[in-house]
Amino acid sequence: MNAVIYGNHALVVVANRLPAYRSEGSWSPSPGGLVSAVAPMVRESHGAWIGWGGTSEEEFEPFEFDGMSLVPVALGAEEHERYYEGFSNATLWPLYHDLVVPPQFHRSWWQTYRSTNARFAQAAVDSAAPGATVWIHDFHLQLVPEMIRAQRPDVRIGFFNHIPFPSETIFAQLPWRDSILRGLLGADVIGFQLASDVKNFRSAVSRYLDIDSGRLSNTVHAYPISIDTAAIHEVAEAEETQELARQMRVELGDPRTLIVGIDRLDYTKGILHRLRAYQELLEDGVLDPQDTTFVQVAEPSREGVESYQDLRDDVEQLVGNINGSFGALDGAAVHYFHHSYSFESTVALYLAADVLLVTSLRDGMNLVAKEYVAARHNNGTLVLSEFAGAAAELHDALLVNPHDIAGLKDAIRLGVEMPAAEAGKRMASMADVVERHDIHRWARTFLADLQPTAPTRELRTSESSNESSSAGHTKRIQYVHTAE
């Protein structure tokens, strides 16, 4: 057996992506809540962050960046295709999002998922100091906890899943379900967004590993993720952002009502459902295209995956149909943007919108909803899917089942017509929630639980262990700001 060579980092974060992206030959910090919450902790302990370097064309050596040691994991083109586009995004993603599209099961993808997870795990093993804390993120890396544990019994291992964990009957379809569960059980703390994810995971463990999940020595708990509320406030309060919001409305023809959707172009987001509801409201004459405008930002995502390409075609066709019927020379009924927006422009769009639509068919959390609330503070209305994790906290949104197009139409109409006093009251109560539970608190709570001396679950205060609340994650690629 080879002797283990210890690294020198007391905190090691392992995620699919690094907290920096490469552009024109140099690295820049990735924007986003997760990075802004976790990076300072990594910096403080002179920690390491392990992640994919972002391209198959170049390989990078570990480097120092912004007070952190970044350790890029190189993925060849075929590995990227099988591990990221294939097993992560065409097997696990649809399976964990309740089969919105059919998952594909390929043994070759699974082999590559395993071997790639082993490379991330090895990089963590090599970086971690004796007794270090290792924090692994998301569904791309579910085998990593067990792989690290096998070599490094001395470290504390945490795993947080940013997306839902499916019900036992859906998870049943995965040919490699036992290995995934064993992989996760390598962690001391296994975190999910919602109490329902915890319950699903526990049932799967009991059923497929034949372990009494009530007797697990691991902490399995809900840690609803949140946003960098203070950063949103700062940008929302800046005069330039407010001016940009005003300009946006002017450029859109100064509509009486501006409805907005901001998402990654992903089939879990229910973009087609909201467009259909809007189309019918125009057809019914409930909304007038002369004084109502809909802006849909759909940030390009996972463009190598077929179901994402199909969705793009469907969305663009429907937008074309709506504009063909209701657009005019001086304005479109739907303004559709298939590109990313900067953080500042996204916040300006939140400020410009009268009604924000979040109509996810399934969503771990949905941080767009929380960011909108933080930016608006005491006005604007939010239509929110009951299938987004955020619905467990944002009770004062107009909650909808996006499959129920009639109900969705009613909610949009209510949102458009809601008296300002009521909208303000609802928004203020939701703003209070995102103020109290921000991303910094989320990160601190998770890491505190990961310490060897962490109080047992039963001993924690009811507020910090609130299992009925929920929360999400933030996606970050270059110059992108679309909260998950």
Q: Which residues are catalytically annotated?
A: 162, 363
One symbol per residue from 237 to 276: x for binding ligand F6P (CB under 6 A), - otherwise; what is it?
----------------------------------------
* Contact in structure between 118 and 150 (CB atoms under 8 Å): no
Instruction: Please name which of 179, 125, 174 lies closest in space to residue 4, comparing C-alpha atoms.
Output: 125
Distance CA 7, CA 210 (A): 36
Report CA 25 to chain centroid distance, whole Å.
Answer: 28
d(CA 90, CA 360): 18
Mode of pairing for the β-strands spanning 20-23 and 26-29:
antiparallel
Residue pointed to by tokens 């859906």:
170
**Between 135 and 326, CB nearer to ligand F6P:** 135
Examine residue 370 and tell whether it contacts ligand F6P (CB under 6 A). Answer: no
Torsion angles phi and psi, residue 298, rounded to 5: -125, 100
Least gap, CB of 263 to ligand F6P (angstroms): 11
Task: Decide if residue 473 touches ligand F6P (CB under 6 A).
Answer: yes
- Sign of the C-alpha dihedral computed for residues 174, 178, 179 and 184 taken in this order: positive
163, 184, 222, 368: residue in contact with ligand F6P (rule CB under 6 A): 163
- Kindly indicate which of the ranges 232-240, 338-346, 402-410, 469-477 contains the residues binding ligand F6P, using the contact rule CB under 6 A: 469-477
Residues 6+ apart with CB under 8 A from 164: 96, 97, 98, 193, 194, 196, 197, 200, 362, 363, 364, 389
Q: What is 302-343 written as a DSSP string? A: -TTSHHHHHHHHHHHHHHHHHHHHH-BTTB-SEEEE-S---H
Smallest gap from residue 271 Cβ to ligand F6P (A): 16
Question: Going by DSSP bridges, is the β-strand pair 9-17/48-52 parallel, antiparallel, or unpaired?
Answer: parallel
Please tell me whether residue 484 binds ligand F6P under the rule CB under 6 A: yes
User: What are the C-alpha distances in Å from 32 to residues 57, 384, 473?
Assistant: 25, 22, 9
Nearer to ligand F6P, 301 or 470 (CB): 301
- By Cβ distance, which residue is nearest to ligand F6P? 475
Nearest 5°: phi and psi at 474? -115, 135
Beta carbon nearer to ligand F6P, 301 or 359: 301
Size of the site for ligand F6P (CB under 6 A): 12
**Nearest to 259, CA basis, from 422, 413, 94, 453:** 413
162 binds ligand F6P (CB under 6 A): yes
> Which of 302, 335, 370, 376 is in the footprint of ligand F6P by CB under 6 A?
302
Q: How far is the CB of 363 from ligand F6P (least distance, A)?
A: 9
Q: What is the smallest separation between the CB atom of 49 and ligand F6P, expressed in angstroms?
A: 14
Give the residue carrying structure tokens 């068919």. 361
Question: Min. distance of Cβ 80 from ligand F6P in angstroms?
Answer: 11
Residue range at the interface with ligand F6P (CB under 6 A); choices 6-14, 253-261, 451-459, 471-479: 471-479
Nearer to ligand F6P (CB atom), residue 226 or residue 279: 226
**Residue 481 engages ligand F6P in binding (rule: CB under 6 A):** no
Q: Is 17 in the site for ligand F6P (CB under 6 A)?
A: yes
What would the x/- binding string for ligand F6P be over residues 113 to 142, using CB under 6 A?
A: -------------------------x----
Which residue in this structure is represented by tokens 């290995």? 179
Selected range binding ligand F6P among 35-43, 200-208, 453-461, 473-481, rule: CB under 6 A: 473-481
Q: How far is the CB of 481 from ligand F6P (least distance, A)?
A: 12
Span of 173-181, 202-210, 317-325, 470-478 interacting with ligand F6P by CB under 6 A: 470-478
The DSSP 8-state label assigned to residue 100 in this structure reads S
Shortest CA distance to 9 belongs to which of 180, 89, 123?
123
| Shortest spacing between CB 406 and ligand F6P, in angstroms | 30
**Is residue 363 a contact point for ligand F6P (CB under 6 A)?**
no
Q: Is 413 one of the binding residues for ligand F6P (CB under 6 A)?
A: no
Do residues 94 and 307 lie in contact, with contact meaning Cβ atoms separated by under 8 Å? yes
CA distance 53 to 278: 40
CB of 264 to ligand F6P, least distance (A): 6
329 φ, ψ (degrees, to nearest 5): -55, -35
Q: Which two tokens stand for residue 441?
A: 């608190």
DSSP assignments along 153-180, one per residue: TTSEEEEE--S----HHHHTT-TTHHHH
Q: With binding defined as CB under 6 A, does residue 354 bind ligand F6P? A: no
Residue 455 CB coordination number (10 Å): 13
Comparison of 294 and 308: residue with beta carbon closer to ligand F6P: 308
340 forms part of the interface with ligand F6P (CB under 6 A):
no
340 vs 469 by CB, closer to ligand F6P: 340
Which residue among 97, 274, 362, 475 contacts ligand F6P (CB under 6 A)? 475
> In angstroms, what is the minimal distance from the CB of 166 to ligand F6P?
14
Residues 166-205 binding ligand F6P (CB under 6 A) are none
Count Cβ atoms within 10 A of the Cβ of residue 33 and give its class: 0-12 exposed, 13-18 middle, 19 or more buried: buried
Residues that bind ligand F6P (CB under 6 A): 16-17, 138, 162-163, 301-302, 364, 473, 475, 477, 484
